[in-house]
Amino acid sequence: MKLWQKNTNVSEVVETFTVGNDRAMDLFLAPFDVQGSLAHITMLQSIGLLTAEELTILSTELKKIYKDIEIGDFKLEEGVEDIHSQVELMLTKTLGEVGKKIHSGRSRNDQVLVDLKLFLRSAIEQLVHNTEHLFELLQQKSEAFKNDLLPGYTHLQLAMPSSFGLWLGAYAEGLVDDVITLQSAYKVVNKNPLGSAAGYGSSFPLNRTMTTELLGFEDLNYNVVYAQMSRGKSERIVAQAVSNVAATLNKLSMDCCLYMNQNFGFISFPDELTTGSSIMPHKKNPDVFELIRARCNQLQALPNDIILLTTNLPSGYHRDFQLLKEYLFPAFITLNSCIDMMHLMISNMHVKQDLLSNDQYKYLFSVEEVNKLVLKGVPFRDAYKKIGSEIEAGTFTWSTDIAHTHEGSIGNLCTEQIAAMMRQAVASFGFEKYHDAIDKLLK
């Protein structure tokens, strides 16, 4: 079944090529297509395009379909082109002519747009909560290991003392900024395109403000041409936010791969969380971190993939947009899986204590010794020269006692302040608004 088909059958070869993987991708959109249709028919009844009785029977049947989707008892039938066609076919089979009325005042263009925005809104929420869960673990471990010193590096050369608490806390705060970028993406997608039809509006007196409220959107995509132009742009902005989270996980994974290496030996994991070698019995490979690193590298390429798919397109709808789903939808599954695996690994991480008591790390404390002289009144440049000369002469002496007290340093991690930033960032999404709206729509 094709909503657009008239009297001519399209070549089977052309149909196979143009549909591609879209049927599989459309299953991601199934619950959101029903939500959009419920809001649309409620609005159609308010402007006289459906009777109250028609609205009741259509709503009842759509809610049955929604329940089937929730329990996994839903599929696209053979020969049905997309999710929109499937829902309309099911309504028409059950209700007859009234089932055909749900498409009045909309096009598949704005129908898929509203589905996408509802999907992305939900997917961002899941990602935010998952990211927050990892953030909380990193903060917990940061506090637990705040007194365990760790070498700090610049240019991958020994630099200054750090701590496991400072290291893990850095990634926790990085996730705060990642959530803030997700918030920006959320604001972009949380606008209602429904009623823009094929991109040029409708001669029906549609009440677009009403569907905006029914679906819990924050606002409208007002200009109907821009509503269609947001296709590709919304995905690109979301992809960039997704790639930011991926970049944080990627760097943490790389650190863990290094720190597990025997030449570092800073951290270790239970045998059941590592893998072995087919010929080297001593091996404990960081395969989980390597795969997180690789998958997150792929995710960092996602914005560029979307840019290249949508570059040089004029305004209006183009079939190119169909392929965006194949890139973006699985990306959420991949990233959430990486977050879950990172949570598992960090939960079971053991850190090596008293690392910096080893003489190989003595030069980490050179700045500490310079600062001690400065505190006694020696000009910094003279203190720097004195300690440098001692290092060159092999007479450098040091102490592993450090006293860093300023905000964000080893001795003052500001864990609660960072937690407050995350709480504020998550609260500002206001997810409860759309949940309340959808709950009312589905009652």
Q: Give how far the C-alpha of residue 256 lies from the chain's centroid of Cα atoms, to the nearest Å.
A: 22
Residue 374 lies in a domain: no
Q: 237 with 350, same domain?
A: yes
Residue 216 lies in a domain: no
pLDDT at 8: 61
Residue 7 lies in a domain: no
pLDDT at 76: 87
pLDDT at 277: 66
Q: 48 with 181, same domain?
A: no
Domain boundary (103, 133, 149) is at 103
Q: 75 with 119, same domain?
A: no
Residue 324 lies in a domain: yes
Q: 259 with 165, same domain?
A: yes
pLDDT at 9: 65
Are 184 and 241 within 8 A, CB to CB? yes
Are 180 and 187 within 8 A, CB to CB? no
Q: 27 with 151, same domain?
A: no
Residue 345 lies in a domain: yes
Residue 265: domain span: 108-196+222-357+413-442
pLDDT at 274: 86
Of the candidates 314, 310, 129, the one whose C-alpha atom is nearest the C-alpha of residue 235 is: 310
pLDDT at 11: 66
* DSSP secondary structure string for all residues of 47-103: TTSS-HHHHHHHHHHHHHHHHHHHTT---PPTT--SHHHHHHHHHHHHHGGGGGGGG
Q: Does the global pTM surpass 0.75?
A: yes
Domain boundary (103, 135, 157) is at 103
Q: 353 with 293, same domain?
A: yes
Residue 142 lies in a domain: yes
pLDDT at 21: 75
Q: 41 with 164, same domain?
A: no
Distance CA 38, CA 66 (A): 10
Domain boundary (57, 73, 103) is at 103
Domain of residue 425, CATH code = 1.20.200.10
Distance CA 69, CA 54 (A): 23
Residue 204 lies in a domain: no
Q: 61 with 18, same domain?
A: yes
Q: 40 with 73, same domain?
A: yes
Domain of residue 92, CATH code = 1.10.275.10
Q: 96 with 113, same domain?
A: no
Distance CA 202, CA 213 (A): 20
pLDDT tens digit sequence for 100-151: 999 999 998 999 999 999 999 999 999 999 999 999 999 999 999 999 999 9
Split the chain (443 residues) into runs of 10 and give each run's mean pLDDT. Answer: 54 69 84 96 97 97 95 88 89 93 92 96 98 98 96 94 97 98 97 94 96 98 95 95 98 97 94 80 86 97 94 89 91 97 97 93 93 95 96 93 92 97 97 97 94
pLDDT tens digit sequence for 385-436: 999 999 999 999 999 888 899 999 999 999 999 999 999 999 999 999 999 9
As given in the structure block, the two tokens for residue 292 are: 């997180």
- How many domains is the chain partitioned into structurally? 2
As given in the structure block, the two tokens for residue 184 are: 């920006």
Residue 435 lies in a domain: yes
pLDDT at 81: 80
Distance CA 188, CA 121 (A): 10
Instruction: Say which residue the tokens 């490979």 belong to.
Output: 285
Cβ burial, residue 271 (10 Å; 0-12/13-18/19+)? exposed
* DSSP secondary structure string for all residues of 214-274: HTT-SEE--SHHHHHHHHHHHHHHHHHHHHHHHHHHHHHHHHHHHHHSTTT--EE--GGGS
Q: 177 with 74, same domain?
A: no
The angle at the Cα of 240, spanning 237 to 246, to the nearest 5 degrees, equals 150
Strands 219-220, 267-268: pairing kind: unpaired
Q: 150 with 279, same domain?
A: yes
